[in-house]
Amino acid sequence: MIVFVRHGQTAVNAAGQLQGRVDRELTDLGLTQAGRLAQSLRGAPVARVVTSPLRRAADTARVIADGLGLDIEIDDRLVELDYGEWDQRAFSEIAAAEWDAWRADPKFAPPGGESLVDVTARVASFCDEQLGPELVVAVSHVSPIKGAVCLALGVDERASFRMHLDIASITRIDRRGSDGPAFIASYNETSHLTTSLGSA
């Protein structure tokens, strides 16, 4: 099983801006969210913690891995979609025609950026390699996680626009048998964010 984790909050998230390859640290709330994620996964038989190279994901992963007594592994396939010229811009700043084109065509890429099809291709490679009997935590971002969900559901990337994925959420994807189809075991878990950290 792969436990996909979306990273904790950054200032760019808090400002409601698109956040692709811009590399920002976690806010204080983001660090608290990472701690809650770590607590929720503590005691699980996690074999490895793999993360996107971007700081917001790697810092979230490090808190989780520390709680499990593991090291983190960097995997570039988990990096967020490259928004190109759209990066760190508010949704309202994107021209309506461009936004509509992006939602209608998975092969559309923002100027200087990357398409959803490109993201799905690298996530498919990651899932093919990592889905198995071991429990793997993968700390990533909205577009790669939604891409993995689309793959498991057997739908194209346009379905991702009908999904909401919270910051610091957990989504679990598993496989039936050694070579069976993938399936969604859970999506957008957030209960850990509202439970007490206790003494952790």
Q: Which of 50, 45, 71, 55 is nearest to 21 (CA)?
A: 55
The one catalytic residue in 7, 114, 141, 189 is 7
The one catalytic residue in 80, 114, 157, 189 is 80
Residue type, 52: S
- The order of strands in the sheet holding 170-175 is 72-74, 46-51, 135-140, 2-6, 170-175, 182-189
Annotated active-site residue 7? The verdict is: yes
Residue type, 199: S
Q: What is the 3-state secondary structure (H, E, C) of 9-24?
A: CEHHHHCCECCCCCCC
Annotated active-site residue 164? The verdict is: no
Give catalytic residue positions: 7, 80
